[in-house]
Structure 1
Amino acid sequence: MLEFFAGVGLARMGFERAGWEVVLANDMAADKKELYEGHFGPSPHYLLDDIHELAEQPDQVPTAMLAHASFPCTDLSLAGARRGINQGQSSAFWGFMHLLENLGERRPPLLLIENVTGLLTSHSGADFQSLLTAMNGQGYAVDAVVLDAACFVPQSRPRLFVLGVRSPARGSDDIAALQPSALRPKNLIAAMQAAPGVAWTLSAPPDPPERGRVKLDEILDHPQDDSPEWWSRERADYLLNQMSDRHRETADRMIAGKRWSYGTVFRRVRNGKSMAELRTDGIAGCLRTPKGGSGRQILFQAGHGEHKVRLLNANECARLMGADGYRVTTRLNQALFGFGDAVCVDAVAWLAEHWLEPHAAALKAAAT
C-alpha cells in the first residue's frame, strides 16, 4: 500500500496490524520523518517531498492495491479560519488528486482518505462535495463513515474516512435509504445526501466497539511525587483558579475524594479570558499539535485532599493514539506535534479489517 501525508507512521502501524505492507510513504515534514525512522529504523521508502512536486514524478510511485491519504486539516478547522479545501495546507488534497491522475491506469484500486469531521460543513458542504466529485473524476465510486478513536482508546477523536473503489464489485448506491448508525451519524448522512450526482458504492461494515471501554487512568504513567514532571504548588493552584465555577466544583469533589481520580484540562480563551476546562468522563480530549500555549493537554490528578498537575508525556500521548511502545527519539514537542497530527492506529486497523478487506477481496476475485 501507499501512505501519503505519512507523518510519523501511525497509519502504517494500523495497516500493518491488519496485514498490509507499506511500500511507499510520503510527507514533506523532515521532523516527522525523523520520528518515523526513530521508531521503524532506516526507511528508504519514505520520500520527503511536497505532494505537488511528487505528482509530477509518478514513476517514483510503485503500483499498489491501496493508497491512504490523511491530508492536512488545518484549513478545515476553526484554527485555520475555515478557509477550506482550496486554500492553504488543506489544498494539498488537490496535489494528491493530480498524482492519481498522472498515475493513469496504475491508480490504486482502493483509496482511503481521512480528515476532520469539519470537512462535512466546510463552505456549507461544498468542500465535501468537491472531494467526492474529484474522486469520482478519477474513476472511484465512494463511501464515507465517521469513526471515533474513543471506540478503542481513551481519546475523543472523531474522524471522517472516505473510501474510493475504482471498480465497485459490491455495494449499492441507494443513498436515500441510509439510516443513522454508529458509523454514519445524521450529519454525515445529510452531507452525503446533499451531494448530487455522486457515484456511491455503499457497504455495511459492523458497528465498532462501544465508545469509552478503555479509561484514561489505564494508560497513565505514575511518576514519583518528587518528579520534575509535576507542576509546582503555585502553578497547580493557578490552574485550579482558572476554572469556571462549574468546573471548579467538579475539581473540588475530586480533591475531597478518598481515592485518586483523573481528568484532563485544556486552556481555552472564553470572552477574552484564559480558562481551564476540566474533563472527567475517563476520556481525554482530542490531542492537538502543540502550537501556542493551549495546545498541550494537562493531566489533573486529585484525591485525599490534594491535587497534582502535569502535562501528559509522550508515551501517554502515544497510547492515546493506539501506539503504545512507540520509540520517541526526538524532543518532546516534536513528538507531540507528530502524534497530534496523526490518525489513531486502532481506528485504521479496524477499518482495514472490516471495511477495506472485503472490497480488496472482491476486487481480487473480479480480476481472476
Structure 2
Amino acid sequence: MRTFYEFFAGGGMARAGFGDKWDCLFANDFDPKKASSYVSNWGSADMVCSDVAKLTTEDLPSNADVAWASFPCQDLSLAGAGAGLKGERSGTFWPFWNLMLSLKDEGRAPKVVVLENVCGALTSHDGKDFSEICSALSSAGYKFGALVIDAVHFVPQSRPRLFIIGVEQKVNIAPDLTMQNPNPAWHSPALIKAYEKVPSPIKSQWIWWNLPNPPLREINFSDLIEENPNNVSWHSRIETEKILGMMNNLHREKVRRVQDLGVLKVGTIYKRTRPDGYGGRVQRAEVRFDEIAGCLRTPSGGSSRQLIMVVEGENIRTRLLSPREAARLMGLSDDYCLPEKYNDAYHLAGDGVAVPVVRFLAEHIVEKLVPSRLSTTDRAA
C-alpha cells in the first residue's frame, strides 16, 4: 500500500482524493476546528494538531512515499497583502520544507512531494516566490514541474489551483508522464511566464508533466442544490429585493432574461465592492447562471459568502449557499461529517482542495511514480 503524509490537512480532502488504496501515516493542521473535523471523518490516530514549526521528524512515523502540502495561500493570494513567502501564513512553507530536509538527512525523504496553492503563487513578488520554491526542490534533489488545474473540469465550481510536483532524482519516470513542451490545457500563460523567470541552473530540473484530457463533467450546479437545507433559510421577499437592488443594469438584465425563459434556473451570487462611477466604491451583487459556482472562499478576512438565486418566471428566491452544497462543490460525499456551525463548515470547504482533482493527479501521475507496496496485513496473509 502506498503511504503519505498530509500537511496543512484541513478536513482531509487530499486524503479523500487519495482514497482507500493509500495509507495516511501522519496528518497535521494548526486549526483545532479543522483538526476536529479531520478526526470526525478519519479518526484520531494520524492527526497532530500543531503549528508545523513545532513539529520534528520524531513526529513523522516510518517512511512515506508522498508528502502532500496545501500550505496557506493568504499571503500569495491576489486578494492578500502581498507578503508572499515571507508572510506569517504562506511563510509556513519554510518550516514544512525544513522537515523535508531533515527527513532527507535521515534517509527518509519522500519520493514525491506535492505542493498545492492558489495561482497567485506564480506572480507573487514578480515570480520570485515561485522561483524560491523551485530552488528549494532542486537543492533537495528533486526534479519538479507544475500544473494549473481548474476544478471546474470535475465539479461545477470555478477553482483554478497550482500544483507543484517534485520527484526524487533516483525515481524512474516513465516517458509518457512527461512532454517536451507545455500543454495549454494544464500549463497556463502565467505558469509559463513564471517558469521562464526561474534561474537556468534550477530550470534544468524542470519537468513538463503530461496529463490526459479530463473526463466530461456530467454534474451541474443545479444538481447539487438542496430544497430544504440545514443551517440556512430562504430569504424573505424584502431581503431578495435588497439583493436585486444591489445589482447593476448588466446583472439585473441577466435575471430578466432568465425570467423570460419561464423555467426554473439556478444561479450563484457574490457581493463585490466595485467603483460607483463617482470616485467612490459600492457593494454590488453579481450573478451568474452558467451552472457553475464561483470559487468558494472563506468567510473570514472580509470575503463574502456565496448566495444562490432560484428563478422560475416571476418567482425569485435567494439564500446563502448551504454547508452541504459547499462540500458537494469540493467533491466530498454526503456522508462526510461537517462541522455544526455554518461558518466553520463553509471555512472548511473554502480552504480545501477539490477531492476529484487530487484523485486525477494521483491516478495519472503520483501513482505511476510510486509503485504500490504490500501492507502489513497483506504480508501477514
Fold match by TM threshold 0.5: yes
- Please report how far the alpha carbon of residue 362 of structure 1 lies from its aligned counterpart in structure 2 after TM superposition: 10
- Whether the 8 Å CA contact 2:182–2:208 is kept in 1: the answer is no
Q: Deviations over 1:82-103 (max 9, x none)?
A: 2211212000000111111111
* Partner SS for 1:21: strand
Instruction: Measure, in 2, the Cα distance between the counterparts of 1:317 and 1:256.
Output: 29
Contact preservation (8 Å) 1:171, 1:202: no
Match of 1:285 among 278, 294, 301: 294
Distance 1:99 1:24 in 2: 13
Query: Do 1:28 and 1:48's aligned partners in 2 also have CA atoms closer than 8 Å?
Result: yes
1:101 is matched with 101
The equivalent position to 1:327 in structure 2, one of 297, 319, 337, is 337
Q: Deviations over 1:115-139 (max 9, x none)?
A: 0011111111111000010111122
AA of the residue aligned to 1:60: D
The answer to whether 1:9 aligns with 2:9 is no
Could you tell me how far apart the structure 1 residues matched to 2:295 and 2:325 are? 13
Aligned partner of 1:140 in structure 2 is: 142
| SS of residue in 2 equivalent to 1:126 | helix
Of 316, 321, 325, the residue aligned with 1:312 is: 321
Match of 1:220 in 2: 225
2:191 aligns with 188
Could you say if the C-alpha distance between residues 82 and 154 of structure 1 is closer, same or farther in structure 2, counting changes exceeding 3 Å?
same
1:324 aligned partner, one-letter code:
S
Quick one: which of 136, 152, 155 aligns to 1:150? 152
The corresponding residue for 2:237 is: 233
Amino acid aligned to 1:208: P
- CA distance in structure 2 between the aligned counterparts of 1:201 and 1:318, rounded to whole angstroms: 33
- Which residue pairs with 1:36 in the alignment? 38
Work out the percentage of aligned pairs sharing the same amino acid: 38
Specify whether residues 363 and 208 from structure 1 end up closer, same or farther in structure 2 by C-alpha distance, changes over 3 A only: farther
Contact 2:37/2:339 (<8 A) preserved: yes
Q: Report the counterpart of residue 357 of structure 2 in structure 1.
A: 347
Letter in 1 for 2:350: G
Please report how far the alpha carbon of residue 168 of structure 1 lies from its aligned counterpart in structure 2 after TM superposition: 4.0
Cα–Cα, structure 1 residues 176 and 323, in superposed 2: closer, same or farther, change >3 Å?
Answer: closer
Equivalent residue number for residue 378 of structure 2: none
Contact persistence 2:267–2:308 (CA under 8 A): yes
**Stretch deviating more after TM superposition (252-261 or 119-128):** 252-261
**Hey, what's the Cα distance between the residues in 2 that align with 1:179 and 1:268?**
34
Shift of 1:282: 0.8
Instruction: Give, as a single letter, the amino acid of the residue that structure 2 aligns with 1:71.
Output: F
Q: Given the alignment, which residue of 137, 162, 165 partners 1:163?
A: 165
Cα displacement string for residues 149-188 of structure 1 (whole angstroms, at most 9, x for unaligned residues): 111100000000000111242268xx99523321112221
Question: Shift of the alpha carbon at 1:213?
Answer: 4.1
In the TM superposition, residue 292 of structure 1 has moved relative to its aligned partner by 5.5
Residues 147 and 307 (structure 1), Cα distance of their counterparts in 2 relative to 1, 3 Å cut: same
Q: Structure 1 residue 293: deviation in Å?
A: 5.8
Q: Equivalents in 2 of 1:189, 1:213: separation in Å?
A: 30
Please state how far the C-alpha of 1:324 moved relative to its aligned partner: 2.1
Whichever residue aligns with residue 366 of structure 2, its letter is L
Distance of aligned partners of 1:228 and 1:88 in 2 relative to their CA distance in 1, 3 Å threshold: closer
1:129 alignment partner in structure 2: 131
Task: After TM superposition, give the deviation of residue 228 of structure 1 in Å.
Answer: 6.6
Q: Any conservation in 1 of the 2:232–2:322 contact (CA below 8 Å)?
A: no
**CA drift at 1:218:** 0.9
Pairing partner for 2:258 from 254, 257, 280: 254
Tell me which residue corresponds to 2:73: 73
TM-score by length of 1: 0.91
2:347 paired residue among 334, 337, 344: 337
State the alpha-carbon separation in 1 of the partners of residues 293 and 117 from structure 2.
19
TM-score, normalised relative to structure 2: 0.88
Please state whether the residue corresponding to 1:208 is helix, strand or coil: coil
User: How many equivalent residue pairs?
Assistant: 355
Unmatched 5+ stretches in structure 1? none
**Counterpart position of 1:21:** 23
Aligned counterparts of 2:197 and 2:212: Cα–Cα separation in 1: 25
